[in-house]
Amino acid sequence: MAWRRERQTEASLDTARDGRRPTGDDLDYAIVKLLEVDGRKAFSEIAHELNVSEGTIRNRVGRMKEAGVLRIVAIADPAATEYQTSVMLGLKVAQGHTPQQVAARLEKEAFVVYILWVAGRFDLVVEVVCDQQEHLLEFLEAEFHSAEDLAAIEVMPGLRNFKNQFLLKRIWATPKET
Amino acid sequence: MAWRRERQTEASLDTARDGRRPTGDDLDYAIVKLLEVDGRKAFSEIAHELNVSEGTIRNRVGRMKEAGVLRIVAIADPAATEYQTSVMLGLKVAQGHTPQQVAARLEKEAFVVYILWVAGRFDLVVEVVCDQQEHLLEFLEAEFHSAEDLAAIEVMPGLRNFKNQFLLKRIWATPKET
DNA sequence: AAGTGGCGGTACGAATAACGCACTTAACCG
DNA sequence: CGGTTAAGTGCGTTATTCGTACCGCCACTT
């Protein structure tokens, strides 16, 4: 869990009331968990459920949104939504480099929507989504084929997507709100 | 897009006022577009922007949620969230079967969160997410290793996920709200 | 062609929730 | 040990949502 924050000192709060309430990072986590089910759930309700004040929920959610770790969005029916197919890449990391390093590099690229470190034939499985074919080719050339930290690249063009439980490929484009 | 509805008869409404306002299906679509950016946007604001009453937005959103074509959820940043690592499968479809057929079969499985038909070494790239290891093994055995429509399976256990722009792996499980 | 039922939109008061701000508490740091 | 900062809380104000009744339109009935 990367919900770590700095302060871990709130054990006091925990015992402050009977109905144990989440402390520190767990609070953020608990809030997210509730919001994942219903993104419009009232802060006051959440506050009541977690035994904290409404203001706290508001602050935490605001902070998380600000920090970019949380977004509340509408999702239209996957069956009704069409998303462009992408490219799947199977990468073998070159000697002297680590999957982490490569992942760290690729992570920053907007076209890269998914990076998974795996065991087996590849080291990394990466999905790239791009609107225009030209961009894609340029991108592959620049970031993959001419990369020194890769020993082998296998490009598997996406032909059709049958299922995608996550979607939401590029909605993140407009981060500012209100 | 499957935003089609029945009634297309509201052309009258369209011209009823100066600031043209979305008609019929377009209204739903416009609402979704706004909510995709900010899932917590006030109905009253949306109403004002689209030149309809707040109640209408409320009704529409409620109906869409009811119908299951719309969900408003929180999404946590992949980098901050830890989700159990999954298994990536590279599948080669057996002679006499098609990727579509196999995909259609796998699509129904809850553990399967992603299916992509690709060109290259594999026919299908499939991601499986599962809480418990045992379930996963059983599942692989039952649905993949003993499947007749597959010629080859390559299992690539996920070691670590560096980026996942979509997430939302299993949230759809609880469709009802409030 | 009038009657009628259903569906969707609107209006408006009551109930709720969110916001802004001042205040308290607790940790951190010379 | 005070000063400083960051987070949580309480509360009055503002804004939004909810409940409900009403209206208009269309389709279907007889």
Q: How many CA atoms within 13 Å lie on the side-chain side of A40?
A: 19
DSSP secondary structure letters along A131-144:
SSHHHHHHHHIIII
Closest CA to A81 of B158, B141, B33, B57: B33
Residue B58 has pLDDT above 70, yes or no: yes
- Residue A164 is assigned to a structural domain of this protein: no
DSSP secondary structure letters along B135-160:
HHHHHHIIIIIT-TTEEEEEEEEEEE
| Chain B positions in Cβ-Cβ contact with residue A176 (cut-off 8 Å) | none
Looking at the fold, whether B62 and B110 belong to one and the same domain comes out as no
pLDDT for residue B87: 84
Range of the domain at B31: 11-67
* Distance from the A37 Cα atom to the nearest Cα atom in chain B, whole angstroms: 6
In tens digits, what is the pLDDT along chain A, a chain of 178 residues?
Answer: 333 333 333 333 333 333 445 555 778 888 988 998 889 999 999 999 999 999 999 999 998 888 777 888 888 765 544 555 678 899 999 999 999 889 888 877 777 877 888 898 899 988 887 767 778 888 888 888 888 899 989 998 877 765 655 544 433 333 333 2
Q: Closest nucleotide (CA of A21 to C1')?
A: D8
- Residue B147 is assigned to a structural domain of this protein: yes
- Residue B17 is assigned to a structural domain of this protein: yes
- Residue B73 is assigned to a structural domain of this protein: no
**Two structure tokens written together for A79:** 């069956």
Looking at the fold, whether A84 and A153 belong to one and the same domain comes out as yes
Mean pLDDT of B70-97: 77
Q: How far apart are CA B98 and CA B115, in angstroms?
A: 14
Q: Is the CB of B8 under 7 A from strand C?
A: no
pTM (global) more than 0.85: no
- Could you tell me the CATH number of the domain that includes residue A124? 3.30.70.920
